[in-house]
Amino acid sequence: MAMTQKSFATGSTYPPLADGVLRVYSMRFCPFAQRTRLVLQHKKIPHETVNVDLKKKPEWFLERNPFGLVPTLEQGDKIVYESNICNVYLDEAYPGEKLISTDPYQKARDQILIDTFGKVTAAHFKLLRNIDGPDEFVKELKRYEEALKQRGNYFGGNKPNMVDFTVWPWFERFQLLEMVDFKLDAANFPLILAYINRMYELPAVKATMFDKESHLTFVKSYQAGEPNYDFGL
Ligand SMILES: N[C@@H](CCC(=O)N[C@@H](CS)C(=O)NCC(=O)O)C(=O)O
């Protein structure tokens, strides 16, 4: 495993990557990176993690991903980035439980939930920033309440699949909406509320989650323009 969880910043030396080792570049509080960390954990894919300072990015990180975004995967001379692409790559390249359906119709329906989830994240962001009220967020999230009604305990049915690991990081962060006095209510979101409790039991979620206080501390530092990437270390 990599030497430290502390984030690497501009001017740092590239931490050497051993032959064959899969590395994920991450930021501990990034929901996109968490998507990929969830898949790595759930599929038990051996890997190491290198956290980067996203305000003062190391030069060697920008050489590997010119967009400078996490997650980014590196193994030998292979580089993959964009969370959804990383996750499809990991599912295809590694053995173990497959998270993407081989049934074309099921795969298409799952992909709709994955691709249109950006509407939820955008509304969540605007609500959290007090740019918008809750209407849009509630409307978009209702589609996922409906999906659970049709699918069962998880978006994947009786077990989690790629949809679950794609959307989960934001479900973990819905509790941040207490900052703007919003809470998911049992009348509108009974299945989502039960789902959130169920997901917290998954080993992959336990391995990648932060508690509410840590998320709140990070988000407040982020909103103040001084993100505390190493909070708690
Ligand atoms: N579309 C990208 C988004 C990733 C992303 O925005 N990650 C943030 C951290 S949460 C980041 O790396 N930000 C650095 C920047 O914007 O310069 C993905 O799905 O991987």
Domains annotated for the chain, with CATH where assigned, are 1-99+224-233 (3.40.30.10), 104-201 (1.20.1050.10)
- 54 touches ligand 1 (CB under 6 Å): yes
User: Alpha-carbon distance 197 to 194, whole Å?
Assistant: 5
Does the Cβ of 70 fall within 6 Å of ligand 1?
yes
* Rounded (5°) CA angle 121-202-99: 70
Can you give the pLDDT of all 233 residues of the chain as single tens digits?
456 899 999 999 999 999 999 999 999 999 999 999 999 999 999 999 999 999 999 999 999 999 999 999 999 999 999 999 999 999 999 998 999 999 999 999 999 999 999 999 999 999 999 999 999 999 999 999 999 999 999 999 999 999 999 999 999 999 999 999 999 999 999 999 999 999 999 999 999 999 999 999 999 999 999 999 999 99
Cβ of 120 less than 6 Å from ligand 1? no
Residue 86 annotated in active site: no
Instruction: List, in sequence order, every beta strand (DSSP E) within the chain.
Output: 23-26, 48-51, 72-75, 78-81
**What number of other Cβ atoms are within 10 A of residue 185's Cβ?**
10
